[in-house]
């Protein structure tokens, strides 16, 4: 697996299941950074179900706002960090009146400095109709810009539809030292 893998897709596309499957292949420490906030009973139950599904071998860090600090806390050469998910994080940033673009730049600046492997889950929100209100359009725009920025720096980008992964970007293999171009 590549160092930074971006997994995107629509709601119920299978993106989280696929990302967790990638992570389960990892032999080292597994860290789950959860960006969701408990805002109601349904969300509380959803979060509890996700924790139970993952099992005890995952260390969980809750990071609804300061994703970079959570990544830095979890980072280790033996770690695989799964971030779930960027669009929930953006929702939280907007709700709390934070500068989304600045936080995305901060995240994109921090990712290349990480020593472990990172799998980032995000929703592709730009395939539907144009939302009918300004807040929803702002969210869609921020999420789309964040996805583009993350895809640019990711080593690998996967799009999941109906549970099927499609590779959008694949990292070039590292060249061995001492070998000529040929």
Q: Is residue 163 part of a domain?
A: yes
Strands 79-84 and 29-34: parallel
- For position 89, what pLDDT does the model report? 98
Q: Is residue 182 part of a domain?
A: no
- For position 1, what pLDDT does the model report? 46
pTM, two decimals, is 0.90
Give the domain CATH number at 77. Answer: 3.40.50.300
For residue 17, what are its two tokens? Answer: 């299941």
- For position 175, what pLDDT does the model report? 60
Question: Considering its fold, how many domains does the chain have in total?
Answer: 1
Rounded to whole angstroms, how far apart are CA atoms 49 and 138? 30
Q: Is residue 174 part of a domain?
A: no
Segments of the chain with pLDDT less than 70: 1-2, 173-182
Active-site positions? Answer: 50
For residue 41, what are its two tokens? Answer: 């009973």
Give the residue from 67, 87, 70, 66 showing the smallest Cα distance to 7: 87
Rounded to whole angstroms, how far apart are CA atoms 169 and 103? 24
């Amino acid at each position: 697996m590549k160092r930074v893998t971006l997994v995107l897709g629509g709601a119920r596309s299978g993106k989280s299941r696929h990302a967790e499957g990638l992570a389960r292949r990892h032999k080292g420490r597994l860290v789950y950074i959860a960006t969701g906030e408990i805002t109601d009973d349904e969300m509380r139950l959803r979060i509890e179900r996700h924790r139970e599904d993952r099992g005890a071998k995952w260390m969980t860090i809750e990071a609804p706002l300061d994703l970079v600090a959570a990544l830095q806390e979890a980072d280790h050469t033996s770690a695989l960090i799964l971030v779930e998910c960027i669009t929930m994080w953006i929702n939280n940033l907007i709700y709390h009146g934070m500068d989304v673009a600045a936080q995305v730049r901060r995240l994109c600046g921090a990712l290349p400095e990480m020593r472990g492997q990172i799998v980032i889950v995000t929703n592709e929100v730009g395939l539907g109709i144009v939302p009918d209100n300004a807040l929803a359009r702002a969210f869609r725009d921020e999420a789309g810009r964040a996805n583009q920025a993350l895809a640019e720096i990711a080593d690998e980008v996967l799009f999941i539809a109906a549970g099927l992964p499609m590779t959008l970007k694949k990292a070039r293999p590292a060249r061995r030292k001492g070998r000529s171009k040929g």
